[in-house]
Amino acid sequence: MKLLSFNLRSILGKTALATAALGFLLAAGAPAAKANDWDDCNRRISYTESRYHEAVEHYGPYSRQARHWDHERHEAYERREHLRHEYREHHRDYDRY
């Protein structure tokens, strides 16, 4: 019986340690995801620009494909402006010091 309680305590301890380590890793990785937003926006803009120009080249400026990629390009630029606005709002108070 003593052997069983020792194994149970050991398993619970290892589980608690693994849970704490996992929680720490998840919390430490969260700021990095926010930093990648700007790069993702620029990559999306570059991609939609190239697809728009390809569609205009192949199908013409008033084609369905060109209108689609123009719309996607417009949304990508809006997303970038939204991120700029969020950044300014977040750092507005810190700029005074």
What is the distance between the alpha carbons of residues 26 and 40, in angstroms, rounded to a whole number?
21
What is the distance between the alpha carbons of residues 50 and 56, in angstroms, rounded to a whole number?
10
Reported as a single tens digit per residue, the pLDDT across 36-94 is: 777 888 999 999 999 999 999 999 999 999 999 999 999 999 999 998 888 787 777 66
pTM for the complete prediction? 0.58
pLDDT for res 85: 87
On whether the CB atoms of residues 20 and 48 are closer than 8 A, the answer is no
Give the angle subtended at the CA of 35 by the CAs of 77 and 74, to the nearest 5°: 10
